[in-house]
Amino acid sequence: MNALIDYILHLADTTLILSQRNSEWCGHGPILEQDIAITNISLDLLGQSRNFYQYAAQLLNNSTEGNKAPSPGGEGVGAEVTEDSLAYLRKEREYKNLLLVEQPNGDWGQTILRQYLFSQYQYLLFEQLQHYSDEQLAAIAAKSLKETRYHVRWSSEWVLRLGDGTGESHDRMLKAIDELWRYTGEMFMPASYENSLNIDPAALKKAWEEKVNTLFTEASLPVPEKVFMQSGGKTGTHTEQLGFILTELQYMQRAYPNCEW
Amino acid sequence: MFNTCIRKFYYGDIPEDNAGGTQSNKPAAKNEWPLWEIFIRSKQGLDHKHVGSLHAADAAMAIENARDVYTRRQEGISIWVVESRYITASNPEEAGELYEPAVDKIYRHPTFYQLPDEVNHM
């Protein structure tokens, strides 16, 4: 049961943090229409993370040891776990998101590439998860799949445009690849909770590489080889970026506990 | 980087230099995307309706932008886009000669026919 909760939190944290990152573009997009597009995606991801958090909260409240599992904000044993307490009151080391999604937005090209690398992975993952034995998890994956398919389509279009665009856009994409590629390996390295659940992300690697290769070739971008892959996000060891994100994300609840609108 | 200057046009207001007819070959500013008119069909069996306009680099991007700008509240099931400069509009100043002659020709309306009772919805 704990493995399942950990895994759901991993999915929830990953979508929440990417949503938070993308939402930083709100009001700052390169053009009005793309501002709306990226914040739409941000909201899709937030919706997905809420589904995961709600399910995790339900499991935590039902399980006998739930109240002392991931600290729901140090409110003491017995406090009810909610989607909000999971998002707003867990600490950096308790977050299990992928390192890739916590990386800074950089320029538009870097944001696009991060979205593409992730969405392509998420699409392949949810395609499998929708048939998973846990019904609720399968249902959330199935529901999210259409959104994800659009995210892949939208971000692929942009990778093509920028990779195969002007000299400057091409150079910026090269820089983005250089910046982000080292965080892609982690997606396919199973954490112990994934092993216990018989979920094997490594099995998605080949399909993901094929998709990425095809797109990069079309976009005249090189696929890096022999890059040392960073890992640790799945088990709570993050880059220095996450702390800053949580500071902003959790500020209101930390400063004014239990405040409501 | 996309140091884009956004020009805001209001509904139905296609600016002269973007309008068709006098096909202007003036290249758009290098950092400015062309304007597209968006038509959405709200459900099967209805026709596409003009809903507004937006900027995009090409038709494919115009469709995606329209999806995000105009169908996020389930407004549609089909999108058409056409670059604004391909639309030729009538000149509002010519409204007098174009439309007013029809005002006093009520016999063109089919209101003078006796319809059988069986015919409904006319």
d(CA A4, nearest CA chain B) in Å: 33
- HSE-CB at A189 with a 13 A cutoff on CA atoms is 14
Q: From chain B, pick out residues whose CB is under 8 angstroms from the CB of A154.
A: 64
- HSE-CB at A3 with a 13 A cutoff on CA atoms is 11
Separation between Cα atoms, residue A217 and residue A257, nearest integer Å: 50
Q: A161, B64: Cβ pair inside 8 Å?
A: no
Check if B82 contacts A (Cβ < 8 Å): no
Q: What is the mean pLDDT of chain A?
A: 93
pLDDT single digits (tens) A121-151: 999 999 999 999 999 999 999 999 999 999 9
pLDDT single digits (tens) A1-31: 799 999 999 999 999 999 999 999 999 999 8
In DSSP terms, which residues pair with B112 in a beta bridge?
Answer: none
pLDDT surpassing 80 at residue B50: yes
In the predicted model, what is the mean pLDDT of residues B50-59?
94
pLDDT value at position B30? 64
Is residue B49 within 8 A of residue B39, CB to CB? The reply is yes
| Stated pTM of the model | 0.82
Confidence grade of residue B16 (pLDDT, cut at 50, 70, 90): low
Q: Where are the domains of chain A?
A: 2-255
3-state secondary structure B65-119: HHHHHHCCCCCCCEEEEEEHHHCCCCCHHHHHHHHHHHCCCHHHCHHHCCCCCCC
Other CB atoms within a 10 A radius of the CB of residue B73 amount to 6
pLDDT value at position B101? 85
CATH superfamily of A2-255: Ferritin, core subunit, four-helix bundle (1.20.1260.10)
Q: Both tokens of residue A135?
A: 């019904």
pLDDT surpassing 80 at residue A247: yes
pLDDT value at position B21? 46
Check if B31 contacts A (Cβ < 8 Å): no
pLDDT single digits (tens) A42-101: 999 999 999 999 999 999 999 865 444 455 544 444 578 999 999 999 999 999 999 999
Weakest mean pLDDT among A69-78, A244-253, B38-47, B107-116? A69-78
Q: Where are the domains of chain B?
A: 16-91
pLDDT value at position A152? 97
pLDDT single digits (tens) A191-201: 999 999 999 99
pLDDT value at position A49? 98
Query: Is the model more confident about B91 or about A220?
Result: A220
Using alpha carbons, list the distances in angstroms from residue B23 to A40, B17, B36, B75, B84.
36, 8, 15, 33, 11
Confidence grade of residue B24 (pLDDT, cut at 50, 70, 90): very low
d(CA B111, nearest CA chain A) in Å: 47
Residue B68: burial class (beta carbons within 10 Å; 0-12, 13-18, 19+): buried
Separation between Cα atoms, residue A19 and residue A36, nearest integer Å: 14
pLDDT surpassing 50 at residue B23: no
pLDDT value at position B1? 43
Query: Is the model more confident about A214 or about A261?
Result: A214
pLDDT value at position B13? 54
pLDDT surpassing 50 at residue B25: no
Q: From chain A, pick out residues whose CB is under 8 angstroms from the CB of B65.
A: 33-34, 36-37
Interface of A with B (CB under 8 A): 30-34, 36-37, 40, 107-108, 153-154, 157, 161, 168, 172
Among residues A135, A148, A121, A149, the alpha carbon closest in space to that of A207 is found at: A121
Q: B2, A31: Cβ pair inside 8 Å?
A: yes
- HSE-CB at B30 with a 13 A cutoff on CA atoms is 2
Confidence grade of residue B96 (pLDDT, cut at 50, 70, 90): confident
Q: What is the value of ipTM here, to two decimals? A: 0.71
In the predicted model, what is the mean pLDDT of residues B19-38?
66
pLDDT surpassing 70 at residue A251: yes
Separation between Cα atoms, residue B44 and residue A8, nearest integer Å: 39
Residue A58: burial class (beta carbons within 10 Å; 0-12, 13-18, 19+): middle
Chains A & B: contacts with CB separation below 8 Å: 39
pLDDT value at position A8? 98
Is residue A242 within 8 A of residue A97, CB to CB? The reply is yes
What is B16-91's CATH number, 1.10.730.10, 3.20.20.70, 3.40.50.300, 3.10.20.520? Answer: 3.10.20.520
